[in-house]
């Protein structure tokens, strides 16, 4: 199974360690196409590789098309994550959005109110493991 993991990059990197942990859980179920989201210096690596914004867009859209499922951590608001979720829903990909309600931002109604995306609130990584198991087997 190819899994597209989405998390904030330019919108804020406070959750990068959590992203890495979530990617570790996802790797138990398949190939995470976007494991770079869980690395601390992702933007620096993109600059070093000479990637333009257009290159990043095209690469991410190709991975999104390839993915069998999309899992997004949506606690930190991100235009890019929202864009990816919109494309995934339009392409009828299974979408799971993970949200920690104790965060400082309320979840967008465009995510929470979308019947095509499964939204799960959680408080710890231990809460997420069975949710991922169920979602990815479904």
If you average pLDDT over residues 79-91, what whole number do you get? 97
Does the pTM surpass 0.85? The reply is yes
In sequence order, what are the beta bridge partners of 118? 96
pLDDT tens-digit readout, 61-77: 999 999 999 999 999 99
Q: Are 9 and 42 in contact (CB under 8 A)?
A: yes
- Non-local (6+) Cβ contacts of 13 within 8 A are 40
Q: Which residues of 38-60 are buried (b: 16+ CB within 10 A; e: fewer)?
A: beeebeeebeeeeeeeeeeeeeb
Residue % of the chain over a pLDDT of 90: 88
């Amino acid at each position: 199974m190819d899994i597209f993991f989405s998390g904030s990059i330019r919108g804020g990197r406070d959750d990068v360690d959590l992203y890495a942990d979530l990617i570790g859980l996802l790797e138990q179920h398949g190939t995470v196409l976007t494991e770079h989201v869980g690395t601390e210096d992702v933007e620096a690596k993109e600059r070093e590789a000479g990637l333009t914004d257009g290159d990043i867009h095209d690469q991410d859209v190709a991975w999104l098309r390839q993915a069998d499922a999309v899992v997004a951590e949506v606690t930190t608001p991100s235009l890019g994550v929202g864009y990816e979720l919109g494309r995934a829903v339009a392409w009828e990909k299974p979408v799971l959005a993970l949200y920690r309600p104790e965060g400082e931002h309320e979840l967008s109604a465009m995510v929470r109110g979308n019947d095509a995306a499964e939204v799960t609130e959680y408080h710890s990584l231990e809460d997420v493991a069975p949710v991922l198991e169920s979602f990815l087997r479904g």
